[in-house]
Amino acid sequence: MKNIEKLAELAIRAGIAGGVEVLRVYERPAEVWRKQDTSPVTEADLRSHRAIVEVLKESRITVISEEGKLSPSKRRGKKRFWLVDPLDGTREFLDRNGEFCVLVAYIEEGRPQIGVLYIPITDVLYVAVRPLDRVFRIRGARYLQPLVQSYADWEASSEPFRREVRYGDSGLQVAVSRSHLDKLTASFVERLSEHVLNVHAYPRGSAIKFLDVARHRADLYPRMAPTHIWDVAAGMLFVEMMGGVIDTPAGLEFASDREREVLPGFIAWANEKVRARVLRALGIESLEELWRGYLPEALS
97: number of CA atoms within 13 Å, CB side? 13
- Return the CATH architecture of domain 2-160: 2-Layer Sandwich (3.30)
* Beta-bridge partners for 117: 103, 126
Delimit the domains of the chain by residue range.
2-160, 172-299
As a whole number of angstroms, the longest Cα–Cα distance in the chain is: 55
Answer yes or no: is pLDDT of 121 > 70: yes
Residues 161-170 pLDDT 10s? 999 877 666 7
CATH number for the region 172-299 comes to 3.40.190.80
At 281, the amino acid letter reads A
Q: What is the pLDDT of residue 34?
A: 63
What is the C-alpha separation between 267 and 61, in angstroms, rounded? 30
Decide: helix, strand or coil at residue 188: helix
SS3 241: helix
Residues near 32 by beta carbon (within 8 Å), at least 6 away in sequence: 40, 41, 42, 94
Query: Model confidence over 263-298: pLDDT tens digits?
Result: 999 999 999 999 999 999 999 999 999 999 999 988
Q: Give backbone dihedrals phi and psi of 61, rounded to 5 degrees, phi first.
A: -115, 140
3-state secondary structure of 104: strand
Alpha helical stretches, state H, 42-166: 43-56, 72-75, 90-95, 141-144, 151-156
pLDDT 10s digits, 60-84: 999 999 888 665 556 677 889 999 9
